[in-house]
Amino acid sequence: MLTKNLTPTGQIYDDYTLIQEKNTDNLQPNKQDPFNPYIFKETTNLISDLLEKHLLQTDTRGLKLTDPSVLTERAKEMMVAESNYPASLDENRLLSILKLYLETGIPVQSKGYMGRQFSSPIPLSGITDFVSSIINQPSSFYEAAQLPNVVEKIIANKFFKLFGWNNNSPEMITTSGGSLANMTAILAARNNAYPDVWKEGYNKKSELLKPAIAVSETAHYSITRAAGILGIGENQIIKLETNDKYQIDITKAIITLNQAKAKGLNVFCLVASAGSTSVGAIDNLDELGAIAKKRDIWFHIDGAHGGAIILSDKLKDKLKGIDQADSIVIDAHKTLFVPGTCTLLFYKNKLKAKQAFQQQASYVFEKDEDIYTAYDSADKNFECTKRPMIMNLWVPWAVYGKSVFSRKLEYLFKLTQLAYNTINISNDFVAHHQPETNIFCFSYKPKNIIDIDTYDFQLAIRDVIKQDGRFFISKVMLENKTVLRVVFMNHNLKISDFEKLLDAIRLIGQKLLESKKHYN
């Protein structure tokens, strides 16, 4: 017997709805149905007010770190008591949950935020992401996400032109992050050099020449990680030494590559950085491309951070030689100011893109492409269900034009040069490099500095800055020493904001030195 449960909150899940025709044309606001569209409207109004206030909070603030156990308790307290049916929407509960979410995040819109490679996104880009979440169109297949797959080609063609790839066969896919994109490109390169390995593993003749990857000693850890995952092995990562600008030293690179060959290693992939994570150094792409070509090595450019400057006429010369790449990675969620994640992976040769994953799966892959399935990307990207992430890039591009990205990048790069000049004319700070991008590393070196091996002064400064909660900066190891690192991602920053940071460092640094005196 079908019974109507008497719990009012459970109406929509009652057995009787199985047989009773529901009139969905006549939906009423019903707080007891979590799927009711009216709930959507009410809650989004609430949320947009909250987010607007959040975005307007641009005062100088860093990150307020909360003890995770305290935060766990607070989060638990906010959860409704479990019952057999969904609770009706309690706006106050929702608001306090969202406020906690905003409060505990890195304030990327603040002028105190100078620490990481992600930014406050272009609001329209975030809004597009929200739309994508509501309509939910996984984009590995054309039929599930038609517009995303079409605009992916539009965006791809713009970049192909800018790279100077004038042949007719390049390819672009989107993936969830630069790490996955780097791995996918290296996988394609591996399969290019070792066509049997996908099926046979490393058991065949191919074993005779050990696969290896050459990469800058400062390269992002995702490259080494890919070597581990792909069975190449971390030990087969050939580290190329860098020069005083933290770029791969070309003369030494040739020697190192020759030595690797003499040892029986087959370097099948050379990875250059276009914007290294630590200092933003851009390798000499032109010369490295020529070396790769001469040795018949796959040339991969990790432009996760800096590849985006190809969009700026003023900055793109820094990427001279990019046309020689076999594959290129650009993180739009870094230097194109869209929410994480949205990564573009480019291949000069379409066929090589297909080489990365050589699988058959009749439920998804079509053997004979038609005009629709030619747009599918599932055979070329690792993900099956995938966010239609390209929309977050395409919509602002379509609405504002590409200068929304290039103007901001140009501003940020100029600001970084100014910061470098400011450090250079000071007598108590030193610059560790001339910035190539919007990443800059420096140290506080006042006259009364205490230089003892056991005391990491720069790290101590960074830690106090973090606790102090006004600024958010990062640190990095350069030549085995900790240095301070800023990444300018907010175009509302002025050089005076950087000067305020320096003043804060001076105060903190002097206090630290004072307290050190008492210990010595």
Residues near ligand PLP, by CB under 6 A: 117, 177-179, 182, 220, 222, 273, 275-277, 302, 304-305, 331, 341, 343
Cβ atoms of residues 57 and 492 within 8 Å: no
Q: Report the half-sphere exposure of 382 (CA within 13 A, side-chain side).
A: 16
User: Residue 249 CB, nearest distance to ligand PLP (Å)?
Assistant: 18
Instruction: Decide whether 139 or 222 has the Cβ nearer to ligand PLP.
Output: 222
| Shortest spacing between CB 118 and ligand PLP, in angstroms | 9
Helix H or strand E segment including 399: helix 390-400
Closest CA to 170 of 184, 190, 156, 183: 156
Minimum separation from the CB atom of position 91 to ligand PLP (A)? 35
Q: Quote the least distance from Cβ 353 to ligand PLP, whole Å.
A: 19
Residue 268 in contact with residue 467, Cβ under 8 Å?
A: no
How far, in Å, CA of 319 to CA of 79, rounded? Answer: 50
Report in angstroms how near the CB of residue 186 gets to ligand PLP at its nearest.
12
Residue nearest to ligand PLP (CB): 178
Q: What region, left, alpha or beta, does residue 39 occupy, with left being phi > 0 and alpha being psi -120 to 50 degrees?
A: alpha
* Nearer CB in complex with ligand PLP: 248/508: 248
Q: Which is nearer to ligand PLP, 183 or 505 (CB)?
A: 183
Token pair 């609001």 is at which residue? 123
Residue type (1 letter), 401: G
CB of 398 to ligand PLP, least distance (A): 24
The residues facing 474 across adjacent strands are 485
**Residue 479: exposed, middle, or buried by beta-carbon count in 10 A (0-12, 13-18, 19+)?**
exposed
Residue 169, both tokens:
């066969």
Q: Which of 152/331 has CB closer to ligand PLP?
A: 331
Quote the distance between the C-alpha of residue 343 and its chain's center: 7
Q: Which is nearer to ligand PLP, 197 or 237 (CB)?
A: 237
Instruction: Rank residues 277 and 443 by Cβ distance to ligand PLP and give the closer one.
Output: 277
> Smallest gap, in angstroms, from Cβ of residue 296 to ligand PLP?
25
Question: Which one, 344 or 415, has the nearer CB to ligand PLP?
Answer: 344
Phi-psi region of 330 (alpha: psi -120 to 50; beta: other; left: phi over 0): beta
276 vs 406 by CB, closer to ligand PLP:
276
What's the closest the beta carbon of residue 85 comes to ligand PLP, in angstroms?
41
Please state the φ and ψ torsions of residue 237, each to the nearest 5 degrees.
-85, 120
Residue that is written with structure tokens 């192909």 in the block: 160
For residue 276, what is the DSSP state?
A: -
